[in-house]
Amino acid sequence: MADRIKYEADYHGTRELMTSPEMLACMGAAAEQGKQFAVSISPRRTGEYSESFHVEGSTAGGPNRDRAEARLTNTSSHAADVEWRNHGGMRILGKTVDHIEAHGAD
């Protein structure tokens, strides 16, 4: 009979991993790729919307502020209109989330 492996969680080590510079870089790379995708599918009537995407990273993310995160935002004054109301609800950021989840930081 094979020996059983006993696993003990290392919560301190997991937290170190989840807030490491490498994890932050990984999250940032995925968000930057998402930004490129979002810009590529954005309407170009004035260019303001497509030029208003920004990526911000933090090692105090998540519900318990204990993991790296990267956020892709659009600061255009009409971002909500592009996302939901105008253009039949283009869902640029929604489609971008789907893209990031499917491709990560290829």
What separation in angstroms does the CA of 97 have from each of 56, 90, 94, 102?
15, 13, 5, 9
What are the tens digits of pLDDT across the range 72-102? 999 999 888 888 875 566 789 989 999 999 9
Beta-bridge mates of residue 61: 67
What are the tens digits of pLDDT across the range 49-64? 999 999 999 999 999 9
